[in-house]
Structure 1
Amino acid sequence: MQTLDIMLPHYGDTALMQAAVTSVLDQTDKDWRLTVVDDGREEGVPEWFAALGDSRVRYQRNEQNLGITRNFRKCVELVESTHFTMLGSDDLLLPTYVETIRAAVEAEPDAAIYQPGVEVIDEHGNASTTLGDEVKRRLYAPKNDGRRLVLSGEPLAANLLGGNWLYFPSICWRTDAVRAVNFREDLSVIQDLALIIELVRRGEKLVVDPAPAFRYRRHSGSLSSAEAVTGARFGEAVRFFHEIADELDRHGWPKAARSARRHLSMRLHALTMLPGALRQRRSKTIRTLLGYALSTSQR
């Protein structure tokens, strides 16, 4: 593997972004290149990067706000290496992240997606256990004895469409595979799953390395959390699931298509959002969430 490109599409909290950058600087394997694409306008950020004085760190600020998916696509365009990671600006790499990814790529060079072990933290950086993460780990994530797993084909697609247990910002991607598909501009919170399913449909493989290498932050300020509270996330998700189900039927993967139409984990997620909507007395949101939780026929 060449130098690992770490792409950081930034918008939001400056302090959390700086912590993410520091976690890159602290890597045991120094063969990386960080590119920050700033979609915000926070004061002092360009100056902070200039003061780092590290030639491996590149910073640019968008002239106009692109939005999350278009900024993802811009990051993909800027990748120079064979492999890259799309680091979230509020997440953290553990010091061995690059080392772990390099070993996984060298062991399985033909894969397109590499998922390392992930620790979940809260807004304050403390270890966190959420219902959603426990469901991911216990019901959907594959069981292993500490060795790397290589997954592919319809069983993987069906598994992920039933419950997406991957952590998008922690994933390392093979650049040519992603560029052949890229992120869909019509999606804002489920574009990572859409990309992964299309890669799997095209015959690409996923490598799961259980070695902890990443810290994923769960907090209420994220775009996906905000859209989940209003129910907007689920409308996009249902549209995607029905669309991909039809495509997978045509592809000859009926099991994966059935899993997409059931979208069980998404419906369970909608149910878990109901208490918050009830507390806030959002009657419209309550009806929307119940509709998505109890029905698989919406299009």
Structure 2
Amino acid sequence: MTLSLVMPTYNGGEFLKEAVRSVLAQTHTDWKLLISDDGSKDGTREYLASLSDPRIQVFFQEKNLGIFGNLNFLFQQVRTDITQIFCQDDWLVDEGALARLVATWQQLPADVAFLRANHGAEEGGSSLARLERDVLPDVVTPDKSDLYFFLFGCIPGNLSNVSLRTRIVAEHGWFDQRLPYAGDFEFWSRVGHRERWAISPVKVATIRVHAGQASATLNKAGELMPQMASVLGTLYDRLTAQGVSPLRLQTVASVCYISTHRWQGLQWLRKSRSWRYLDMVNQHLGRQRFALGFLSGWLAFLATAGGRLWRLQAARWLLAH
């Protein structure tokens, strides 16, 4: 099986070189690596221009497209059936990573749209993360997908966890560039609403944790909140149309999402003396149709100690609908 890896880059620095070396070291050699640089100014472009392996194709963007615009561009260039998304600051876990990935895809049903690898590889985690590992089947069907995404959030997590049938990006309307913080959550849940998807513990990429990663630098002042509200609102509407109890959904949203972000907002207020994060939570999450009312929402916040208690019980109550 030939597969492609797509990598958006922007000021990749030394991490990028390690990522590319991990691809070149693979025992499975039938791959294409497509890299699109989004206007780097740190020497990334010079490094990319020096790559001479014929399996690597590099594109230099004249203007910054953002990560999802860059992914949309790259998926228009892919000519293989399967594509692995690969972020510039991660690396393939060992020399056999792509061989294991290919073997996993060869065993999957032909109608699986995307694969979330590395699932369950992380030990510990929150009670909700442990519940996710316990209840998700190996293949998730569209009739269950909305519920799981509403309950557990963006299940694929980091983009480097995901490989997919290349066709689905165009067939499902591309990544939404209007959602620079939640575009992956929106896209995977949109695909899952119509097609089957899979999870697997197969180890493919190592996700690097560092101060400059997107999850650490974005959403500093609650920018994620209106985009999360858009995704959760769509899921809520679908689920209530399917007969799921609005009260159960509102309870889960208030405990697992809104209370947690209110707690973060209070921590941000303590550190920075700024109300902005908390205002964004209250405005864009706390007043939505998928939330409990103002008073009930704050009572839920107090009763759960800022979303740290009773999350598991709320989740199980929804699953038992």
Say yes or no: TM over 0.5: yes
Aligned to 2:61: 62
Verify the 8 A CA contact 1:5 1:85 in the aligned structure 2: yes
Question: What value does the CA root-mean-square deviation take over the aligned residues?
Answer: 3.0
Closer, same or farther: CA 59–277 of 1 in aligned 2, 3 Å: farther
Aligned to 1:106: 106
The one-letter amino acid of 1:80's match is: R
**Following TM superposition, by how much is the alpha carbon of 1:200 offset from its aligned partner in structure 2, in angstroms?**
1.7
Verify the 8 A CA contact 1:83 1:173 in the aligned structure 2: yes
Instruction: Write the deviation string for residues 149-170 of structure 1: whole angstroms up to 9, x where unpaired.
Output: 1121222321122113322321
TM-score normalised by L of structure 1: 0.82
Structural mapping, 1:14-53, within 5 Å: 14-53=13-52
Structure 2 residue matching 1:211: 3-state secondary structure:
coil
Verify the 8 A CA contact 2:141 2:197 in the aligned structure 1: yes
What is the rounded CA distance, in whole Å, between the counterparts of 1:268 and 1:100 in structure 2? 40
Q: Is 1:236 aligned with 2:235?
A: no
Aligned to 1:158: 147
Instruction: Write the deviation string for residues 88-132 of structure 1: whole angstroms up to 9, x where unpaired.
Output: 111222123212221121111321111111699xxxxxxx98x9x
Q: Is 1:78 aligned with 2:70?
A: no
Aligned to 1:115: 116
Aligned to 2:205: 214
Verify the 8 A CA contact 1:116 1:212 in the aligned structure 2: yes
The one-letter amino acid of 2:145's match is: L
What is the rounded CA distance, in whole Å, between the counterparts of 1:51 and 1:185 in structure 2? 30
Q: Which has the higher contact order (CA 8 A, sep 6+)?
A: 1
TM-score normalised by L of structure 2: 0.77
Q: Is 1:178 aligned with 2:177?
A: no
Aligned to 1:265: 256
Verify the 8 A CA contact 2:34 2:58 in the aligned structure 1: yes
Aligned to 2:188: 196
What is the rounded CA distance, in whole Å, between the counterparts of 2:198 and 2:217 in structure 1? 31
Closer, same or farther: CA 197–213 of 1 in aligned 2, 3 Å: same
* Greater fraction of residues in strand: 1
What is the rounded CA distance, in whole Å, between the counterparts of 1:259 and 1:48 in structure 2? 52
Instruction: Write the deviation string for residues 169-218 of structure 1: whole angstroms up to 9, x where unpaired.
Output: 2100111122111111221111112111221221x111211122221233
Gaps in structure 2 of 5+ consecutive residues: 292-321
Closer, same or farther: CA 223–285 of 1 in aligned 2, 3 Å: same
Aligned to 1:124: none
Verify the 8 A CA contact 1:84 1:175 in the aligned structure 2: yes
**Following TM superposition, by how much is the alpha carbon of 1:234 offset from its aligned partner in structure 2, in angstroms?**
1.4
The one-letter amino acid of 2:29's match is: K
What is the rounded CA distance, in whole Å, between the counterparts of 1:269 and 1:221 in structure 2? 23
Gaps in structure 1 of 5+ consecutive residues: 121-127
What is the rounded CA distance, in whole Å, between the counterparts of 2:105 and 2:187 in structure 1? 20
Closer, same or farther: CA 46–105 of 1 in aligned 2, 3 Å: same
- 2:272 pairs with one of 264, 276, 280: 280
**Following TM superposition, by how much is the alpha carbon of 1:258 offset from its aligned partner in structure 2, in angstroms?**
7.5
**Following TM superposition, by how much is the alpha carbon of 1:71 offset from its aligned partner in structure 2, in angstroms?**
1.1
What is the rounded CA distance, in whole Å, between the counterparts of 1:134 and 1:292 in structure 2? 25
Structure 1 residue matching 2:219: 3-state secondary structure:
helix
Verify the 8 A CA contact 2:113 2:168 in the aligned structure 1: yes
Closer, same or farther: CA 73–284 of 1 in aligned 2, 3 Å: same
Aligned length: 283
Runs of 4 or more off by more than 6 Å in structure 1?
A: 256-260
Instruction: Write the deviation string for residues 227-278 of structure 1: whole angstroms up to 9, x where unpaired.
Output: 33211101211122113433555xx534398877653533254145232442
Instruction: Write the deviation string for residues 23-46 of structure 1: whole angstroms up to 9, x where unpaired.
Output: 222223122111110002325333
The one-letter amino acid of 1:111's match is: V
